[in-house]
Amino acid sequence: GAVVSQHPSRVICKSGTSVKIECRSLDFQATTMFWYRQFPKQSLMLMATSNEGSKATYEQGVEKDKFLINHASLTLSTLTVTSAHPEDSSFYICSARSPGQKNTEAFFGQGTRLTVV
Amino acid sequence: QQPVQSPQAVILREGEDAVINCSSSKALYSVHWYRQKHGEAPVFLMILLKGGEQKGHEKISASFNEKKQQSSLYLTASQLSYSGTYFCGTRSSGAGSYQLTFGKGTKLSVIP
């Protein structure tokens, strides 16, 4: 099946710094990628929809200036957590779908465990 | 709107069966089931489309009742490897971006 690679898998950063997370579709072109955040023992909450070549669409309550999303190519979307704070510590997961296929699964990356100290 | 999953948690002995339910207050186009183990990303199990279809994957099957906007995941003769948290993700009818909204999950623990 299609593979989505996310990097890094774990990152620890100091409060106030920025962290970039990459999401790559390895064997297909993804015009749309989704970014989720998952707090311990909770569900995956959609943060934003990343569209190649255009601005991302953010869900209500997600600060677009804090969570910068760039989808510069059909195989790469990045999420940058700016001025990170301890409350941003979470599991961030991206997913991607092959374009033109309506009823297919969304492939998830491995996830990134962010810890802000 | 987030779909509602039940039960929240279930403990099974190896070989026992379980049913996990997922219901929505919105008309659904499709239901996606995933299993997530601790610290890992969700793993896809199956998709069900409107039309009341039923699917199977090894000893795991699911049904989708479009009229009731409900889906159920059936795990038969459970194995230790079935342990994890099961999420249903729903796509509403008319949603153009294919985004999924996930339920809160059902934690399944299979013990020897």
CB A9 within 8 A of CB A111: yes
How much is the pLDDT for B106? 97
Lowest mean pLDDT among A5-14, B5-14, B59-68: B59-68
What band does A27 get if pLDDT is binned at 50, 70 and 90?
A: confident
Q: What residue type is assigned to position A115 of the chain? A: T
Tokens 């299609």 map to which residue?
A2
Residue A105, min C-alpha distance to chain B (Å): 7
Tokens 């039923």 map to which residue?
B54
pLDDT averaged over every residue in chain A: 90
Residue B83 exposure: Cα atoms within 13 Å on the Cβ side: 11
Nearest to B35 by CA among B92, B90, B73: B73
Judge: A105–B40 Cβ closer than 8 Å, yes or no. no
SS3 A86: helix
- Choose between B7 and A104: higher pLDDT: B7
Judge: B98–A102 Cβ closer than 8 Å, yes or no. yes
Residues of A in contact with B104 (CB under 8 A): 42-43
Residues of A in contact with B92 (CB under 8 A): none
Q: pLDDT tens digits, residue range B75-108? A: 999 999 999 999 999 988 765 556 788 999 999 9
Residue B78, min C-alpha distance to chain A (Å): 22
Q: pLDDT tens digits, residue range B29-71? A: 889 999 999 888 888 888 888 765 666 667 899 999 888 889 9
Extended strands (E) in A1-117: 4-7, 10-13, 19-25, 32-38, 45-51, 57-58, 67-73, 76-81, 90-96, 107-108, 112-116
